[in-house]
Amino acid sequence: MGGTSAERDVSLASGIRIVDALRSRGHDVVAVDTAYGLLSRADEEALLAGGVVKTIPPDTQALVRLNAQLPATLRSFPPTDVLFLALHGGQGEDGTLQALLDLTGVPYTGSGHLASALAMDKDLSKHLFRAAGVPTPDWLMAPVAADEVRAGLGLPVVVKPSKQGSTVGLTVVKEAANLQRAIDEAFRFDDEVMIEQFIHGLELTVSILGDEALPVGEIIPKHEIYDYECKYTAGMADERFPAELSADETRTIQTLARKAFDALKLGGYARIDFRMAADGTFHCLEANTLPGMTQLSLIPQAARAAGIEFAALCERIVRLALERRESPSGAGGGRA
């Protein structure tokens, strides 16, 4: 957990909850901040008390050292151990760390390195969604002129880094005069920037756990979009599980979520985000391969609506990682 990405704070909050939950199920758990090292019990207690915090300053060279040391460290662990990845964004979620772990043979939670890289790249993801028959909003990639955006997508549009999460660097642009400023802001966080058609309608999310689609969630943020503040500040969003959809609508969006999951070759668990337009059509926005696990995060709420408490959810994710190791194909699906 932790790391050096723009989502470090959220990762620490997710990771410490997972540590606590797995210990409550009788597991021996070691907490590691990839930008700092092993966490002491005092570090853990500070994180548990603070929620999304910046208690431990990141060391940007730590990942370099970790890459050099990790294979030998992992080989020293008992063979039955699993690495639970609670990293968000950056090299923790984009397949870089997963590729390194594949070389060690140590099982880890979530998707493999290729699927992680595909899901992190929103441009590639959307091409694969469409190929699989999953609708997704139209988009363009920067650099692009305001006139081209207005003609091709209309206004408003969503400008965002192509390989980030938690709405970091994202702006809703309603006037063409503000487009370039939003693109420049997004380029602060990535080397590729997407300009995406804004879909007016309901914000919905579907979590996949193994081969099961969990109850659909509807998010009603205090802001215009479900941004970083709304995601991680209590009271800034009304999150309803299950969403108030008809049975047919629920089946449709869950089917689309499974198709998106399969199109990106995801494994273990993930969260697929959608918008439902006024005409009832669903539009897939993106897939999150290591979704947040904080007190306010969505997949724990979806699991709870399905009768799965947080500690049991964490344990099921661990079992899915073991199943992937035991599977001849290495695929991450299957019920735990």
Q: Which domain holds residue 290?
A: 201-326
Please compute Rg for the chain using Cα positions: 19
d(CA 182, CA 196): 12
Angle, to 10 degrees, between the axis of helix 310-326 and the axis of helix 8-24?
90
* H or E stretch at 301: helix 298-305
Strand partners for 193: 161
Phi, psi angles (nearest 5°) of residue 201: 150, -160
Same domain? 212 vs 172: no
Per-residue model confidence as pLDDT tens digits over 311-323: 999 999 999 999 9
pLDDT at 95: 92
pLDDT at 22 over 80: yes
Choose between 319 and 332: higher pLDDT.
Answer: 319
Last residue of a domain, one of 109, 130, 163: 109
Average pLDDT for residues 68-96, to the nearest whole number? 75
139, two tokens: 């988009």
Same domain? 105 vs 174: no
Confirm whether 298 is domain-assigned.
yes
293, two tokens: 């696990």
pLDDT at 275: 96
pLDDT at 336 over 50: no
Please give the positions annotated as active site.
Answer: 7, 166, 232, 271, 273, 286, 288, 292
Confirm whether 336 is domain-assigned.
no
Q: Is 277 exposed, middle or buried (0-12, 13-18, 19+ CB in 10 A)?
A: middle
Of 14-23, 37-46, 247-256, 287-296, give the lowest mean pLDDT range. 37-46
Confirm whether 114 is domain-assigned.
no
Confirm whether 291 is domain-assigned.
yes
Same domain? 212 vs 193: no
Average pLDDT for residues 133-146, to the nearest whole number? 96
d(CA 290, CA 308): 18
Confirm whether 304 is domain-assigned.
yes
d(CA 75, CA 145): 52
Same domain? 190 vs 207: no
Mean pLDDT rounded to a whole number for the chain: 86
Same domain? 143 vs 35: no
DSSP line for 183-198: HHHHHTT-S-EEEEE-
pLDDT at 65 over 70: no
Instruction: State the number of CA atoms in the 13 A half-sphere of 162 facing the CB.
Output: 19
Same domain? 53 vs 90: yes
Closest CA to 107 of 324, 309, 276, 312: 324
CATH number of the structural domain spanning residue 30: 3.40.50.20
Same domain? 151 vs 215: no
Tallying the residues shown for the chain, one arrives at: 336
190, two tokens: 């990535």
pLDDT at 278: 93
DSSP one-letter code for 111: -
pLDDT at 58: 52
Same domain? 166 vs 61: no
Of 31-45, 137-151, 171-185, 285-299, give the lowest mean pLDDT range. 31-45
Same domain? 35 vs 90: yes
Same domain? 306 vs 208: yes
Average pLDDT for residues 218-240, to the nearest whole number? 69
Q: What is the pTM assigned to this prediction?
A: 0.87
- Model confidence at 42, in pLDDT bands (50, 70, 90)? confident
Same domain? 179 vs 258: no
Confirm whether 162 is domain-assigned.
yes
CATH number of the structural domain spanning residue 209: 3.30.470.20
Average pLDDT for residues 198-220, to the nearest whole number? 95
CATH number of the structural domain spanning residue 167: 3.30.1490.20
Confirm whether 310 is domain-assigned.
yes
Quote the distance between the C-alpha of residue 129 and its chain's center.
Answer: 17
pLDDT at 4: 77
pLDDT at 331: 44
> How many structural domains compose the chain?
3
Same domain? 65 vs 147: no
Confirm whether 182 is domain-assigned.
yes
